[in-house]
Chain A
Amino acid sequence: MTDTVYGPVTDWATDFDHGAPEYNANIHEIWDNLKASGCPIAHTERYGGVWLPLTHDLVKEIAYDPSRFSSLTPVVQQLKPSQVRELDPDALGAPIGPVPPISSDPPFHADARRILLPAFSPKQIDPWRKEVEEICNKLIDDMGDADIIDAAVQYTQHIPVLVVAQMVGLPLSDADRFRGWVDMVLGGIGAERNEERMAQFEAMDAYLTKHIEDHIENPRDDLTTYLLNSEIYGEKLSPRHVFGTILLLIIAGIDTTWSGIGSSLWHLASNSVDRRRLVENPEKIPTAVEEFLRAYAPVTMARMVTDDMEFHGVHMKKEDRVLLPFPAANRDEKQFANPAVVDIEREENRHAAFGLGIHRCIGSNLARLEMNVAIEVFLKRFPDFELDNSEQVTWSTGQVRGPRNLPFRINVRA
């Protein structure tokens, strides 16, 4: 095993740490400094060797090239895939990967993805609008008449988990537990693989295994039963495949959208002109949501290099990981006019918040619905709010970026 590098970052161009809290807290400044220093692809020896391309062209080229850049490791954590296999010989390898289809490569990927796509098409997702509205209104009712609220803790973090739990058929009363998994899997990527962390993973595995077994005995009208009944190449999906996909839906469906809603509300709390414009013209919310998705895209994905190669002047080694920072691509001045300016009426906006190429976020229609409704309801109930500066705004760690504490002062209720 290679030595693992821990400790403070010395140089963001040659020693970056995407799992360090200061990365997400200062992300735009870090990217701007890297680009200004003429560094289109940063590197780190941490996590066994990772590359960080920063332009739209590079991100797109990598996303479109699954043969040289495998999706086996969508999250860059401390262990390389070969090290994971040493510890768990049964782990699903390429082209399926541990959490299909996000971890899958062609040709398996398209077949696994096709099973899920119908459940997430716009016409299947639109009917969830009323349910999301009710969830959002209830969360605001529960805040009572407090002048100071934490919009992340009391609002944004609850919305996606309640929808995803219903779709997958998990008890809503365990929502806190699912958010804990998200924090462990995505937030804790820089953590050491110690006994405590392993015990948490084992508890998650045991819970989900029980959930699946219960659905085998008592089939229901939900995605778990649907997956258990689905076939690929004429055979039922393997138990590991079903397990991985359910884990994916829970993990990927929760803090991504929670982050997207949170960053949007953070922007509106910090920009009273934009807030007033949307309160007075709610029909502008969908265009504004696209701009929030561009400017504050929550998700950075990752790929694994399949063989030693030269790539735009750098020497990549087999099993190196490559981060795909779609949020950085969204701020590329070659692709977007005035990319640093958040213009909520930007009409031409081919942002890559949901990825590019074959792995486009399968939940994008649901995420957009939740973001639109959550912002609509919040502005309707709280037409005037601002950041409460007595408390800190805090940001997540890891490849999904969004606020985890949003102290707001509510000035007007409707």
Chain B
Amino acid sequence: MRVHVDSSKCQGHNRCYALAPELFDVDDLGNAFELNDGVVPAALEDKARLAVANCPEFAITIED
């Protein structure tokens, strides 16, 4: 599984960073980006889905 933050949609709500800091980080402006090229370890797949389901801007996608 891989996650991706669409930087044109992200508005810096920081829900992904709060829920899954192992998978996402934020820059100095508070905009999110995926860590480790978006690769999601098997143990963190539920967290990745949670991050997707909590993004108000629908900015995060999962590729299996």
Residue ranges of A at the interface with B (Cβ–Cβ < 8 Å): 114, 117-118, 120-123, 286, 290, 347-352, 354, 356-358, 360, 364-365, 368
Among B17, B53, B54, B55, the residue within 8 A (CB) of A122 is B17
Residue ranges of B at the interface with A (Cβ–Cβ < 8 Å): 11-15, 17-18, 26-30, 50, 53-58
Task: Answer whether A360 and B50 are a contact pair too, CB < 8 Å, given A117-B29, A117-B30.
Answer: no
Q: Decide if B54 touches A350 in the complex (CB within 8 Å).
A: yes
Q: Decide if B30 touches A349 in the complex (CB within 8 Å).
A: no
Bound-state Cα–Cα, A358 to B56, Å: 12
A-B contact pairs, 7 of them (CB 8 A): A117-B12, A118-B29, A290-B54, A348-B50, A348-B53, A350-B53, A356-B57
Chain B neighbourhood of A349, CB < 8 A: 53-54
Among A118, A121, A354, the residue within 8 A (CB) of B56 is A354
Tell me whether chain B's interface is mostly helix, strand or loop, or mixed: loop
Min CB distance A376 to B, Å, is 16
Chain A neighbourhood of B57, CB < 8 A: 356-357
Bound-state Cα–Cα, A286 to B58, Å: 21
Bound-state Cα–Cα, A123 to B11, Å: 16
Min CB distance B53 to A, Å, is 4
Min CB distance A239 to B, Å, is 25
Bound-state Cα–Cα, A247 to B54, Å: 31
Min CB distance B7 to A, Å, is 13
Question: Known contacts A117-B30, A121-B26, A121-B27; can you find 13 more A-B pairs with CB under 8 A?
Answer: A117-B29, A121-B28, A122-B18, A122-B26, A290-B54, A347-B50, A347-B53, A350-B54, A350-B55, A356-B11, A358-B11, A360-B13, A365-B30
